[in-house]
Structure 1
Amino acid sequence: MDSQVNNPLLKVVKMAQSLLEEEDRSAVTPSRIAEKIELILMMQPSWRLDLDVEAAVAELVRRFSVWVGESAVLRDDSGHQDWLVASRKKDWRYWQRYRDWLEVKLPSAAIEELDRTTDDILGLLEDPTREGGWDRRGLVVGHVQSGKTGNYTGLICKAADAGYKIVIVLAGLHNNLRSQTQVRLDEGFLGYETAPNPDDLSLAGVGLIDRDPSIRPNYATNRSNSGDFTPRGSRNLGISPEQRPWLFVVKKNKTVLDRLLRWVRNHVADADDPETGRKVVTHLPLLIVDDEADHASVDTGEQVYDEGGRPDPEHEPTTINRLIRRILNTFTRSAYVGYTATPFANIFIHDRGRTADEGPDLFPSAFIINLAAPSSYVGPARIFGINDGTQRSGGLPLVRHVTDHASADGSAGWMPLRHKSTHTALVDGVPGLPASLKEAIEAFILVCAVRIRRGQGSEHSSMLVHVTRFTNVQQQVVAQIEEHVRHIKQRLLRGIDDGVIRARLRRLLEEEIASTSSRIAASGGRADAGTIPDWADVETLLPQVLSDLEIRMINGTAKDALDYVEHSHTGLKVIAVGGDKLARGLTLEGLCISYFLRSARMYDTLMQMGRWFGYRPGYLDLCRLYTTSELTDWFGHITDAAEELREEFDLMVASGATPKQYGLKVQSHPVLMVTSRIKMRAARSLMLSFSGQVLETTALFRDPAILGKNLDATRDLVVSLGEPERQGNGGAQSSSRCVWRGVEHGAILDFLGRYRTHPDAYKVSSPHIAEFIQSMVSRGELTRWTIALIGGGAGGSLTLRPDVTLSMLTRSPRSSSGNRYSIGRLLSPPDEAMDLDGAGWDAALALTREMWRSDPARLQDGREPDVPSGPAIRRIRGFGAPGVPARRDTGLLLIYALDPPKEIGLTRDDPVVAFGISFPGSDAGVKVEYKVNSVMVREWESDYGSSE
């Protein structure tokens, strides 16, 4: 980044951006930008020699096309005193120099939003100068690879300005991630490169903007791979209230955290707790920033609670959780802020969890902030598209499906999904790469050349290869990639027998890379696409790319590291092969090509593996994701679940809810689990409310006897009803649907009492649903129901009574084992709108669009949805809107007849009845106890375990 500070292009861009900020954004055109650049060059004529004016204009066009929505906050101000006013910020220097430094590389809209959100977070913490004891816990939820490190760096700068003296950053489990975080905080907060020898001080990042040594923060850890906190390194540390703030960047490691805790108690503590006698720190306020807060920090031990909800004070938390809490509990004035993109495990922390030695658990009781990403962020919604209720659309054409990694049945081949550490990677019986990976590597070589031609040659370019978690299998993959790259080098550099390779590369450039770039530009993504040079121009750059290209293995035993900093002037061009080390936290700078075959069953694990999310300024059209169609489906489901969760969050913010009232609402899925059941130790006996949720049976029986009884229950229900309507209302018109309105709740309870749901279904349990409905009825809600039979599919006919015959739907199985088979989503948002009239449909659609506008990462090239979302539909049904009455008394039961797929061994004589229930929103607070089903230990171990 130091090179960026002195880069002529970036200096001109920063100055021009400052000048243009004074004008109306609508007046910022390419010609106006060029005028400002010319004005700057008249003042600094020496910059003209090394400046690509066209690249500077393109960069500023991109920056001024970026917009950012507003972050949403759930808060609880109990015991909190507002304190962050303008007068407190007038002399802040850490933040000001960080802001100045960011202006070199970020759009002004993104910097303004960072300023707002870090003010919000800091303001929700406590004033570090406030006397007495206080403790604040919060959670910041961002998108994967969306800039959370930049956000907490800004928070740390402001916290230090405000008076926090001890700042501890918990930075992952591995040395390379801790080191990467240290490097970023060296640049963004400390202002100098931390080294084992404190005499080796070299200014960096913000230190080049404000060089005043009197404000330099102190450090207790350094950027070297072994630079974590040690007693030896802390021996000479002196702490006093008058000194500048201290920064500790440490791993979530038992030995390290134990050392830090003992050092704090022995060298920093200045008093004894009058009740317990333990040593405490009263004179220094503490801020802990927990990066990837859902990983390792959550207490996975099962804590017992009595009938009054009081926790067992003798409970022993798991190691990392215990040590983090003990450090917090040693300070009488402390603040804890967790950062994560996958908050599922954090929400399951019991809000009343507490033990004598550790104090309260890490539940974010003070606040949860949902960060909005800039419109330039490339997240799951942009990669995989959004389910608009009928189909998935809007995704960028960047995904390429891999089919040659394994045999047809998935049991053999180069890299079958389920393989062991002893696996040998073979193609047709010999070591080598599948054609798809060869293509991905060759695409990466071409992309590096195109980026050089676009003026991005000094920027990093990375390729991710993530196909196995076993280090010895990774070693085989590295050797095979090295051999393939060596083969290309020999042919191209020596010009020997190179015709086939040159023809293949040219075809890939012209027919794949160029055509995709044109498609993106034509679809309205001109800011995401650039010029693809002719083959002749690219061909001349191939020797340079191949000479610079490196292959690295990144795991716990490899010596390789991604030393982007050392290549900051020339740009690192690297193919990174790894497993779990590349699955969480570690950033691959300039990631262009991803080859990804890893599987996981947890939402958070799979989403965190998505290293390809993030920002791709000026080269998004060159990016590719090579993966399986199955993983694409899974990521699509996660995308829908994540978007629904964020919408639920925004709706709760609008209603003034607190973090303790926030219940996790994630679509159930037969294969993907919310998070590791180990992390959900408070969820073994959950108290769940189904209000405002949709439940659907996607884990189904294969047993004909059980299917027959479920069909009988459905037939008896239909026979008991009167004459149906033949089509739905609102936005879901269809003559293939039979609808009954005003059905008494008793009929629903009878149906649920007879319908047997599969025991592997995560949330959909007939007895629990019936219990919930009965409890709501006692409060005057869910007394009447709308029932709809959904047909119109391509399957056979099913007659439920003489005047009710449906054409059955078809659903492909996602998986099949034992007495269960699983499908994807059963219903779509238009189905849930069955019970809305026109005004209700319009209100739900307006609410959906309002939620989406708050977060540009949800929008596809600025297009808003034209179908209301499930959360918005259920909100309007429960709470109404102007001109739309609330109908909390009415639930919606949707029944589907499925023609059983041949793959699962059933015939058309065994129709499968599945159902979905859409509950209107409610504030009744009714919950039912839900016992989480146990899962085979080896299943989650295969996903969370690691050999690295």
Structure 2
Amino acid sequence: MPEFSTSTATALSIAQSLLVADQDKGPITAALITEKVNIAASVVAPGNEGAVDKDAVIAELIRRYSQWIGRDTGMSDTTDHEAWLNAARKKDWRCWPRYRDMLERKMSVTAVDALDKSTDRILGWMEDPGRAGAWDRRGLVVGHVQSGKTANYSGLICKAADSGYKIIIILAGLHNNLRSQTQIRLEEGFLGYETSANGDIVKLIGVGEHGRDFEIKPNCATNRTNTGDFNTKIAKHLAITPEQRPWLFVVKKHKVVLERLLKWIRGHVADATDEHGKRFVSNLPLLLIDDEADHASVDTGEQHIGADGKPDEDHEPKAINSRIRKILNTFAKKAYVGYTATPFANIFIHRQNETPEEGPDLFPQSFIVNLAAPSNYVGPARVFGLQTPEGRSGLPLTRVFQDHASDDGRDGWMPAKHQKDHAPAHMGQDALPPSLREAVRSFVLACAAREARGQGAQHSSMLVHVTRFTLVQKEVHRQVEDFVQKMKLRITRGIDHEALLDELRALWESDFVPTTEAIASKLTESEEKPSALPWAEVLAKLPDVLSDIEVRMVNGKAKDALDYAEEGAKALKVIAIGGDKLARGLTLEGLCTSYFVRTTKMYDTLMQMGRWFGYRPGYIDLCRLYTTEELVEWFGHIADASEELREEFDTMAESGAIPRDYGLRVQSHPVLLVTSPLKMRTAKNLQLSFSGDLLETVSMHNDGKILDQNLDTANKLIAACGAPDETNPERVRGTQNQQWEGFLWNDVPADHIADFFESFITHPKARKVNSALLRDFVRSMATTNELTSWTVALLGGGSGDKHTFAGGLTIDRMTKRTADKDISDRYAIGRLLSPRDEAIDLDDAAWSAALARTKKMFNPDAGRQKNGVKPSEPDTPNGPSIRFIRGKGSEADGVAPAPQRGLLLLYPLDPQQAGSEALADRKNPVMAFGVSFPSSDSGVKVEYAVDHLLWTQEYGPAD
């Protein structure tokens, strides 16, 4: 939210309250907003309405009321669960109403309402804290990276406390700075007062400072200082009784801290003894919230499950996992809720793991909730774009560099594999590479532009993440600080500053001005559309901005750059240099510029490093991500993989699946590189299923011999299929006709398809499409009488040249797919299939049933839209629905299931239109294929060999 004067902020709050009161009477229009703002201004400043910036308030309210949010999706297992949350239970709530009031002062009513509904659902799927006897509920909440998970669990804590949960423990990351940050957030959103090292209430803040119900003072056993974690000294003076006020503990995921807390609970809180003599808490219900639940909480040790399905009781879980489970196991009444943006590791937790000491593992057996993001959220899908046949279309914020290392990656300023004593040097000099110098200048310009736009009272940050070694970070810190210091001296003193100002002006006019114009055209109504500032306004702010910029290290051996909240009115301008501490959970306020080099390629680790996702109101056009070509490619994979798994989740939730079903599905999903194999808890091979999946070749060889073999393989399949059943197939789709250029065969036997996969050579960097696995899968399914009768289509219709295949079948226009110019070791494209192609084998009834299912599942989640524009209801079926209807049919629509029917789509790509130098001399087509597998319950899987050593070499160590 923009910074407003006190009068303007008060008028905004009053105007929004007036609009809330009127929202049931009709639509909120610009005219109505203006009317309410005029009323609010006359109340706040009677006779002096100029004290209120009415235009700014109107603009902010229009943005808020233009915001939209998709719906959360969820699945739950109600076994031994009693529904309990109703309106009557909410009447006496006190913590939630004041938290909601605080949120409504800075967020849209739409967003607050969505959070209210979301937390109601999660709380309802937990257990009634007043329920008699023992109970255990375990769930997982999946949000987008940097999308407001903390606000969600703060709301959940307020409601849980209101409902009667007495002990609330938050596991807040591995480091002091993240724990302290979480403590501060919960003081503002739940406690209402600032904690101190001596336990005194220092002052009322957040929900406590506006005078609403300030008698609510939940107890807190931890404080906001860097050493404020739970410790023995605190524990000695802490007495807990089951009184009205709940107790809050904000602790690190550290084995010593957790062991200390466990001992204290058993010694001071436990009030009963079980049949084995172990003390436990029988009367106080526990809510344990695990922030970043996929990190450190997962037991990476393999527990043997016997032939009888029973787990090995002698298994010893890893330290942190063990202690979390022991704490849970000490309470008779407990709810565990994990929060993460990358749930892959949690889904891989074995559902049967259990030991007598720890109890069951942390698999979210009770529920999983997928949080929707609001329309002003900027996530991976918007930054990098999702794959389409035309390629990706993200926001133009990425700046690619390669000057940090030599071409072979072994030398240079920051090579991929460097030692902990590496001395960063560029071209043999103790200096920053040009790309980082430009990134720093870019940050300086962003800070100056934000000042010129009136955002000077807000924090601005830059992230430099290039190494995990503290000693090397120290050297980078020294180099960056030296570079910034020289800029300060030259500009603030006016000594030898002309050349530097020329460089800054050139960067502003060649980069920032056109980027601002491009971004403005891509933003939604709920986002502030920027306009480019003239250079003179930016120049005027440069001296003060440079004087304010600080360069800090953020790691375990340095003072943490966390005192945003402690600086009072002063807005920080910080260049934060660090490693793993910057990689997960820590929020850098006002992050504008990121300079990022990292070798790991695991989806979950990389995703968490994406600190640049989130909300950038009024300055998204000033943000920059400096990184490598390879990481841009990998973040594209992340966006696609996350979208695919969320889509899979929505499909299963709609069909009434429970978390156990989803766990089994994800474990056999062909998105292989989701997480470290250690977190998959397996030293064995992966068991994969392709049922219900669409696979398409988007990474193909450049080698002419391999391409010739693949063309020959396609010709052999075409010849084996014989005369086509249809030429230029045509389909009725609702009120329209669709036509394809090409040929189609029905009832092709599985052997022909398996032989095709046997001979086709897929590229080793094709992340999902492995022809040998596909061959094995088709043959295995055929033994169960599934995938026995295939539809094969050879499709053209592009803008390329003609080519004649076996049997004299001619495609007059080969398909055009442009190569990714940044990837040279293969022919890499965006999406291969046009969305309509996957439904080519459906008749009108099946197509209509798939469309109806698509509409039913339709969820305009902003975190998954590539352009931020709210999409209209779909008019064509999506892939999951097509595959579901093909495999399982629709009794209501009279569509019979056909799990025996697979679909293979062959595409001849014109090499002359690829735009690839490696293919410039090729005339014959590059053969690509898409294969659509119907949904199935057969459970057939194929084995994928995981070589852990090669994995570590290729993807880096597990975090």
TM-score (norm 1): 0.90
Evaluate the alpha carbon distance shift between residue 896 and residue 465 of structure 1 in structure 2; reply closer, same or farther with a 3 A threshold.
same
2:953 counterpart of 1:928: no
Q: 2:222 matched to which residue of 1?
A: 221
Displacement after TM superposition at 1:773 (Å)? 4.2
Structure 1 pair 359/803, CA: closer, same or farther in 2 (3 Å)? same
Q: Give the deviation of 1:135 after TM superposition.
A: 0.3
- Summarize deviations over 1:724-757 as a string: whole Å, max 9, x none: 3454656998977543222123333444566677
Which residue of structure 2 aligns with residue 652 of structure 1? 652
Q: Which runs of 5+ in 1 are unaligned?
A: none
Q: How far 1:609 sits from its partner (Å)? A: 0.9
Q: How does 1:378-527 map to 2 (within 5 A)?
A: 378-393=378-393, 395-523=394-522, 525=524, 527=527
Cα pair 2:670 2:768 within 8 Å, conserved: no
Task: Name the residue aligned to 2:870.
Answer: 862
Q: How far did residue 90 of structure 1 move?
A: 0.6
Offset at residue 718 of structure 1 (A): 3.1
Identity %: 53
The reply to whether residue 878 of structure 1 matches residue 880 of structure 2 is no
1:892 corresponds to which residue? 903
Superposition CA RMSD, Å: 3.7
1:23 counterpart = 2:19? no
CA-CA distance at 1:677 after TM superposition:
0.6
Preserved CA contact (<8 Å) 1:269 1:282: yes
Stretch moving more, 543-552 or 708-717 = 708-717
Partner amino acid, structure 2, of 1:10: A
Q: How does 1:147-166 map to 2 (within 5 A)?
A: 147-166=148-167
Letter in 2 for 1:538: V
| Corresponding residue SS for 2:902 | strand
| 2:237 counterpart residue number | 236
Q: Can you list the C-alpha shifts for 1:302-337, whole angstroms capped at 9, x where unaligned?
A: 111223433222222111111111111111111100
Q: Is the 8 A contact 2:669 2:690 kept in 1?
A: no
How far residue 778 of structure 1 moved from its aligned partner, in angstroms, is 5.7
**Number of the residue aligned with 2:833:** 828
User: Which of 358-367 and 824-833 deviates more?
Assistant: 824-833
> Would the aligned equivalents of 2:129 and 2:163 in 1 still touch at CA under 8 Å?
yes
Q: Please say if residues 832 and 918 of structure 1, whose CA atoms lie closer than 8 Å, have aligned partners that are also in contact.
A: yes
Structure 1: which amino acid aligns with 2:839?
Answer: A
SS at match of 1:718: helix
Unaligned 5+ segments in structure 2 are: none
Match of 1:917 in 2: 931
CA distance in 2 between counterparts of 1:176 and 1:659 reads 33
Q: How does 1:227-376 map to 2 (within 5 A)?
A: 227-274=228-275, 276-376=276-376
Q: Residue type matched to 2:579 in 1?
A: G
* Alignment correspondent of 1:80: 81
**Counterpart for residue 97 of structure 2:** 96
895-904 or 229-238: bigger deviation: 895-904
Distance 1:623 1:837, change over 3 A: farther
Greater Cα offset, 654-663 or 705-714: 705-714
- Distance in 2 between residues matched to 1:542 and 1:911, nearest whole Å: 55
**Hey, what does 1:175 align to over in structure 2?**
176
User: Would the aligned equivalents of 1:794 and 1:810 in 2 still touch at CA under 8 Å?
Assistant: no
- What amino acid does structure 2 have at the position aligned with 1:856? A
CA contact (8 A) 1:710 1:754 kept: yes
Check whether the contact 1:810–1:899 (CA below 8 A) recurs between aligned residues. no
Q: Which residue of 1 aligns with 2:204?
A: 203
Quote the offset at 1:903 in angstroms: 9.9
Which of 772, 781, 787 is the aligned partner of 2:792? 787
* 3-state SS of paired residue (1:787): strand
1:932 Cα offset (Å): 4.2
Q: Deviations over 1:315-374 (max 9, x none)?
A: 221111111111111111111000011111111111222122111111111100001111
- Residues 523-922 of structure 1: matches in 2 within 5 Å? 523=522, 525=524, 527-662=527-662, 663-665=664-666, 673-682=673-682, 684-696=684-696, 715-724=715-724, 725-727=726-728, 737-752=742-757, 769=774, 772-773=777-778, 776-777=781-782, 780-789=785-794, 801-804=806-809, 827-828=832-833, 830=835, 831-836=837-842, 844=850, 851=857, 853-859=859-865, 860=867, 861-864=869-872, 869-880=878-889, 882=893, 886-895=897-906, 915-922=929-936
- Cα distance in structure 1, aligned partners of 2:917 and 2:534: 48
**Cα displacement (A) at 1:261:** 1.1
Q: Distance in 2 between matches of 1:442 and 1:843?
A: 55
Higher mean C-alpha deviation, range 478-487 or range 30-39: 30-39
Please state whether the residue corresponding to 1:381 is helix, strand or coil: helix
In structure 2, distance between residues paired with 1:222 and 1:146 = 25
1:651 & 1:683 partners in 2: Cα distance?
A: 30
Looking at structure 2, the residues matched to 509 and 867 of structure 1 have their Cα atoms a distance apart, in angstroms, of 43
C-alpha displacement of 1:624: 2.0
Q: Contact conserved, 2:819 with 2:827, CA < 8 A, in 1? A: no
- 1:592–1:721 Cα change, 3 Å: same
Deviations along 1:511-545, one digit per CA (max 9) or x if unpaired, are 43233222333345463323443333322222221
* 1:163 positional shift: 0.6
1:64 Cα deviation after fit = 1.2
Deviates more, 1:540-549 or 1:523-532: 523-532
Contact conserved, 1:685 with 1:929, CA < 8 A, in 2? no
Structure 1 residues 844 and 408 mapped into 2: Cα distance closer, same or farther (>3 Å)? Answer: farther
Return closer, same or farther for 1:669/1:491 CA change in 2, 3 Å cut-off: farther
Report the CA distance between 1:433 and its aligned residue: 2.6
Deviation at 1:108, TM superposition (A): 0.5
Structure 2 CA distance, aligned partners of 1:599 and 1:726?
Answer: 49
Deviations 1:72-101 (A, max 9, x none): 111110000001111111111111111111
Shift of 1:112: 0.3
Q: Give, as a single letter, the amino acid of the residue that structure 2 aligns with 1:918.
A: S
Q: Label 1:840 to 1:597 Cα distance change in 2 as closer, same or farther (>3 A).
A: farther
- Provide the rounded CA distance (Å) in 2 between the counterparts of 1:894 and 1:355: 49
**TM-superposed deviation, 1:899:** 9.5
Which residue number corresponds to residue 126 of structure 2?
125
The one-letter code of the counterpart of 1:920 is P
Q: Deviations over 1:876-925 (max 9, x none)?
A: 43345648665433101245678999999999799987654311123x24
The amino acid across from 2:301 in the alignment is G
Distance in 1, Cα, partners of 2:511 & 2:822: 30
Distance 1:696 1:396, change over 3 A: closer
Paired with 2:316 and 2:778, the residues of 1 have a C-alpha distance of: 37
CA deviation after TM superposition for structure 1 residue 562, in Å? 2.4
CA distance in 1, matches of 2:695, 2:639: 18
Q: In structure 2, what is the Cα distance between the partners aligned to 1:735 and 1:44? A: 65
Deviates more, 1:709-718 or 1:851-860: 709-718
Summarize the Cα distance change of 1:50–1:313 in structure 2 as closer, same or farther, 3 Å threshold: farther
Structure 1 stretch 872-881 or stretch 753-762: which is displaced more? 753-762
